[in-house]
Structure 1
Amino acid sequence: MPMQMSTLESLITLPAFIVGKSTRSTIGELGKLSHLRGKLSILQLRNVVDATDALQANLKDKKDLKELELEWGDEDADDSQKEKDVLEKLQPWVNLEKLTISGYGGKDFPNWLGGSSLSNIQVMCISDCSNCLSLPPVGQLPTLKELCIRRMKLVKTIGVEFYGSTGSSVIQPFQSLEKLEFEEMAEWEEWVPSGSGGSDFPRLQELSLRSCPKLRESLPCDLPCLKKLSVYGCGVLDDQRATTVTSVNMDYKSLEELKISECQTGLLSLLPETKLLSKLEIASFNDIQCLPNISRLQSLRLFKCPTLKSFPEDGLPTTLTSLVIRDCRRLKLPHEMLAKLTSLGHLVILNSCDSMRSFPLGIFPKLTSLFLLDCKNLESFSLIKEGVDENLSRLGIEVCPKLVCFPQGGLPTPNLTRLDVKGCDKLKSLPERIHTLTALRSLEIRDLPNLEPIAEDGVLPHNLRHFRIENCERLRASSVAEYWGLQRLVSLATFEISGRGSDEILETLLKQQLLPTTLQRLEISQLSSLKSLDAKGLKHLTSLSFLSISNCSALEKRYKKKTGKAWANISHIPCIKIGEEVII
């Protein structure tokens, strides 16, 4: 820090003060800065030589500070008692609203962290206090709304000290707490209730537990206001005793959102009792075969459940609006069940449902986006009752190596605005009658080695604005020129072309001036054999404002600014990117 900081007595804003190792930037320099307001971060507190310096910082009288961060650094403490003395003397003004403590090396916390010493505190975050065996007594802070505890690696038990109880006196704790997070508590084993006779967290709305691998027993049983529960990486919670206690005693009737990963299956037994549950995410379960019945659910996300085979016996609720399935390869997806999801708006199937060989279209009255990704055995689409997916606006099909064709007669998606098709080795053609998809604005075809040009009745939709071709080596430039009618796409603003088979296509399009004059962006990449761009073809693109050439060694050399032989042919374009160089 600058020397003689203490002379700036009228200073109002000081985001960070770094304690130096020399006597030039001691923490005592903060003493006379009584007008500081807003947020102050005091960093590298491990450099404090004498705890008396911390007292001279006079934080207790800085009445306009709202947020305070106290950070000791990454090194391990060499004197835990000194660090405790320093923190003791850094007690802030009573009306502080947010406090962060990280890297503190003391063995316990000073008394000012609890009770009336911080009567207006609303947010507190404590992390990386490597020598502490217990948490600070924050349960009696009257206005505390958010509490985050991270990486307290020696804490094994959270008990009465956490709730702020003294002696035999037990007062109901955490009267205002709404959000509680524990993260990376490597040795935490037991969460003991306060014994107050009521709920320990009467207003808690969000509870998150992440990477607490040794935590056993159950979670707090009485959380009457809990709306969001996230439990990740708490594997020991799935022992038999925890499962029994959890399923019998938990009262989470207000729960609206549940996310569980790598933890107890006992939590799943809560589902039939959570009448308000609208969002459910289940990830990394190796011993679940069937989901229990769930009512009123709106969003369901299933990740990495290799043994999961089926949905509930009664099927999924008709209220479901979003369904994401990833890495659940044994899961079956009956067409009859899908047809009942009349509220479904978003569907993603990724590396899942290996038994699915056909996917139904025309049965989703409210579906707006559909993504089928890495569906290894998907061969075709089926039309159910000749229906129409009126609201489907985005369709993505990627890495479906056995997909042969789209449904006969074309896609029943009149309002489709974006179509992405990638990595389908056996696919030979785009959807029939694609020109009838007049709402289509973006089309991307990538890694389709057997794709052939569509016939004359398959001219691209005239309202198309973005078109991308990549690694479609069987496309022939002559056929593209004859059938696709790119010059008629007067709304086309962006054209991207790259990879295998694209050199000849681009060369033909430019020489024959088959790109529309309205084109604004032309992006070229990975065209190794193309050595030049037709100058007249580029001049024909009178609206072109951006040209990008990347991973094309010959083109990059030829069109390099000033030194390239053909730089003059493109210098009129307002913005050019050659490799990593942007030229305006």
Structure 2
Amino acid sequence: MPVQMGRLKSLRTLTTFVVGKSTGSPIGELGDLSHLGGRISILKLNNVVDGRDALQANLKNKKDLKELELAWGSEDADHSEKVRDVLDKLQPCMNLEKLTVKFYGGTSFPNWLGDSAFNKIKVMRLVGCHYCFELPPLGQLPALKELFIRKMKFLRTLGLELYGQPFQPFQSLEKLEFMEMAEWEEWVPSGSGGPDFPCLQELILEMCPKLRGSLPCDLPCLKKLSVEGCGVLHDQRATATTSTSTNLNYNSLQELEIEDGCQTSLLSLLETKLLSRLRIRNFNDIQCLPNINRLQSLSLWNCPTLSSFPEDGLPTSLTSLYIESCRRLEFLPHEMLAKLTSLHCLSICNSCDSMRSFPLGIFPKLTTLMIGNCENLESLCLVEEEGAVENLNHLNELDISGCPNLVCFPQGGLPTPNLTRLEFRRCDKLKSLPERIHTLTALQDLDIRDLPNLESIAEDGGLPPNLRDFSIYNCERLRASSSSVGGDYCNWGLQALVSLEEFMIGGRGSDEILETLLKQQLLPTTLHALWIKELSTLKSLDGKGLAHLTVLRSLYINSCKSLEFLPGEALQHLTSLQELHIKDCPSLQFLPEEGLPPSLSCLRIYNCSGLEKRYQNNTRQDHRIEINDEVII
């Protein structure tokens, strides 16, 4: 910080103060800034010599200060008595509402931290206080709503000292989070006779690998529970005796997340009547889900032993279902799927290996369908049921990726009049897109990538007329022209797409497509952004094919290793061009002598050795130049 900060006696806002060591401002400079208010972070407190210097900061009398962060220099902070004395002397005013302490190295906290006189503190964060063996009596802070404890590697027991005496603890706490507590083993209840956390709505436990025993047994207001990386934790319901099990209270639980090998006993919480969201990740010991009554959202990720859904099927209230990396899981039978009348979003990835055909039209409200890495999927079919076509009226997004055996779609095309996004990626055997794709008049985004056998995309009527974003990448057998009339015209109807604003073309096989589009000026005049990527043989852009793009704002040229020059006259016609990005084009030695369009505001060059040398010391430009992320002008 600048020296003599203390002379700014009327200063009211200072968001950050970095304590100087041999140079800069010492912490005592804050003493005369009595009008400071709002929020301040005081950093590098390891530079404070002793507690007397900290006392001079006079935080206790800064009555307008609402948020305070006190941070030492690193996680390897000094843990001598001096550090505790410094924190003790940095006691803030009682009006404080938010307090963060980071990388404090003391073995205990000063008495003011947790004093009930701080009756306005709503948020408390203790981060990286490694050497503290116990927490302060934070349960006595009457207004505390959110408490975050992270990286206290020597804390082994969370016990009575946290709750404090003599009052009922945590009367206002709504959110409690413990993260990266490497040695924490035991969570002891207060024994007060009532709930330890009577208002708690959200509890998050993450990366507490040694925590044993049970969760607090009486959380009457808890709405969300998230447990990750707590592999030895047992739920109280699994271990309670008959005499105590009737006192368990999770009746308000709505959202449950269990991740990374937590004990399966936590699944007993699925019995909670109000549970509406369930996410299970990285579970190795679950074979079948129990019956779930009122779920609205279900996410299953990396459950390699899971092989079946509940016997009674999934709840009809389900609106979203995500299944990923559950290969043994059998795809639901047709009659069970038909009961999911509320389903809006379905995502299946790396799962359901037995699925060979997916039935479109079975879900009356489905808006989003994503299928990824389903190796045996061969077709999308339209179910032969009354109302199937009408059901597809709701579908807005269809994404298919990593399905190497997918070869066919419903005859006559997709009856999805409201589809706005369509994506196909990494489908090795796919030779053509759905028939009559031009009838998808609501489609705005079409993305086709890594389809090595794709031969046609719009042979029977052209592309959808209202496309806004169109991407082609690594479709090596795809051609932009028809050989039936000499091979000299494009049959996609690109030029007629009056709504197209963004176009990306690149990868294997795209050199010839781009040459055709440019040669015949077939790119629509409405383009705002053009990406040209990874074209191996492209040596020059045909200027004629770019000159008519008078509303183009951004031009991106990436990884075109053979590109040697750009058309100067054409670039001059790009009168709306604002950004030109050139990356990984080592053969490109110079930009056009005619210059770049006057509208250009930024030229970005990355990993282009020839251009870097030319523009490194060029200061005679009217636009911003960035080379390898460094601003040159």
Aligned runs of 1:207-246 on 2, under 5 Å? 207-238=203-234, 243-245=238-240
CA offsets 1:514-570 (integer angstroms, 9 cap, x no match): 333434433211112122333333234454444332211333x311xxxxxx32222
Secondary structure (helix, strand or coil) at the match of 1:113 reads coil
**8 Å Cα contact 1:246/1:266 also seen in 2:** no
Which residue matches 1:398?
401
Change (3 A) 1:474 1:76: closer
**8 Å Cα contact 2:174/2:202 also seen in 1:** yes
Amino acid at match of 1:304: N
Secondary structure (helix, strand or coil) at the match of 2:336 reads helix
Residue identity over aligned pairs, in percent, reads: 68
**8 Å Cα contact 2:79/2:107 also seen in 1:** no
CA distance in 2, matches of 1:477, 1:158: 68
Which residue matches 1:323?
321
CA distance in 1, matches of 2:541, 2:57: 68
**8 Å Cα contact 2:138/2:163 also seen in 1:** yes
**8 Å Cα contact 1:294/1:316 also seen in 2:** yes
Change (3 A) 1:307 1:508: same
CA offsets 1:406-447 (integer angstroms, 9 cap, x no match): 222211312111101011000111001212211111111111
1:453 maps onto 2:456 in alignment = yes
Give 1:488 shift: 2.8
**8 Å Cα contact 2:237/2:268 also seen in 1:** no
Q: TM-score, normalised by structure 2?
A: 0.86
CA distance in 1, matches of 2:273, 2:74: 46
Amino acid at match of 1:487: Q
Please point out which of 496, 508, 512 is paired with 2:516.
508
Please point out which of 562, 565, 574 is paired with 1:558.
565
CA distance in 1, matches of 2:47, 2:556: 51
1:35 maps onto 2:35 in alignment = yes
1:572 maps onto 2:573 in alignment = yes
Amino acid at match of 2:239: T
1:527 maps onto 2:535 in alignment = yes
Aligned runs of 1:52-67 on 2, under 5 Å? 52-67=52-67
Change (3 A) 1:521 1:7: closer
Change (3 A) 1:421 1:93: same
CA offsets 1:481-518 (integer angstroms, 9 cap, x no match): 45422233233232221111111112112223333343
Secondary structure (helix, strand or coil) at the match of 1:188 reads coil
Aligned runs of 1:420-499 on 2, under 5 Å? 420-454=423-457, 456-479=459-482, 481=489, 483-499=491-507
CA distance in 1, matches of 2:102, 2:499: 55
Change (3 A) 1:578 1:115: closer
Which residue matches 2:265?
266
Structure 2, unmatched stretches of 5+, are 484-488, 584-602, 605-622, 625-633
CA distance in 1, matches of 2:100, 2:397: 44
Give 1:150 shift: 0.6
1:367 maps onto 2:363 in alignment = no
Give 1:455 shift: 6.7
Change (3 A) 1:549 1:76: closer
Secondary structure (helix, strand or coil) at the match of 2:213 reads coil
Amino acid at match of 2:317: T
Give 1:79 shift: 4.9
Change (3 A) 1:529 1:246: farther
CA distance in 1, matches of 2:533, 2:266: 50
Aligned runs of 1:346-361 on 2, under 5 Å? 346-361=345-360
Change (3 A) 1:71 1:538: closer
Secondary structure (helix, strand or coil) at the match of 1:236 reads coil
Which residue matches 1:418?
421
Which residue matches 2:111?
111
Amino acid at match of 1:368: T
CA distance in 1, matches of 2:467, 2:411: 23
CA distance in 2, matches of 1:542, 1:379: 44
**8 Å Cα contact 2:46/2:78 also seen in 1:** no
Secondary structure (helix, strand or coil) at the match of 1:523 reads strand
Secondary structure (helix, strand or coil) at the match of 1:570 reads helix
CA distance in 2, matches of 1:99, 1:477: 62
Which residue matches 2:587?
none
Amino acid at match of 1:190: E
1:198 maps onto 2:205 in alignment = no
Change (3 A) 1:372 1:36: same
Aligned length: 571
Please point out which of 178, 181, 184 is paired with 1:188.
184
Secondary structure (helix, strand or coil) at the match of 1:509 reads helix
**8 Å Cα contact 1:246/1:267 also seen in 2:** no
CA offsets 1:27-70 (integer angstroms, 9 cap, x no match): 22222211111112111112221211112221111111001111
Give 1:394 shift: 0.8
Secondary structure (helix, strand or coil) at the match of 1:180 reads strand
Give 1:202 shift: 0.3
CA distance in 1, matches of 2:115, 2:78: 30
Secondary structure (helix, strand or coil) at the match of 2:460 reads helix
Which residue matches 2:617?
none
Amino acid at match of 1:347: L
Which residue matches 1:280?
278
Give 1:98 shift: 0.6
CA distance in 2, matches of 1:108, 1:382: 66
Greater Cα shift, 371-380 or 542-551:
542-551
Which residue matches 2:175?
179
Give 1:254 shift: 0.2
CA offsets 1:103-140 (integer angstroms, 9 cap, x no match): 11111111211233311111000111121110111111
Change (3 A) 1:152 1:567: same
CA distance in 2, matches of 1:290, 1:26: 62
Change (3 A) 1:106 1:535: closer
Which residue matches 1:562?
none
CA distance in 2, matches of 1:232, 1:211: 6
Aligned runs of 1:96-175 on 2, under 5 Å? 96-165=96-165, 170-175=166-171
CA offsets 1:203-262 (integer angstroms, 9 cap, x no match): 0001000000000000000000000111110001159x8832399464211001111112
CA distance in 1, matches of 2:75, 2:217: 39
Amino acid at match of 1:528: S
Amino acid at match of 1:244: T
CA distance in 1, matches of 2:569, 2:323: 52
Give 1:381 shift: 1.4
**8 Å Cα contact 2:79/2:131 also seen in 1:** no
Change (3 A) 1:250 1:376: farther
Q: CA RMSD in A?
A: 2.1
CA distance in 1, matches of 2:545, 2:88: 75
CA distance in 1, matches of 2:64, 2:277: 41
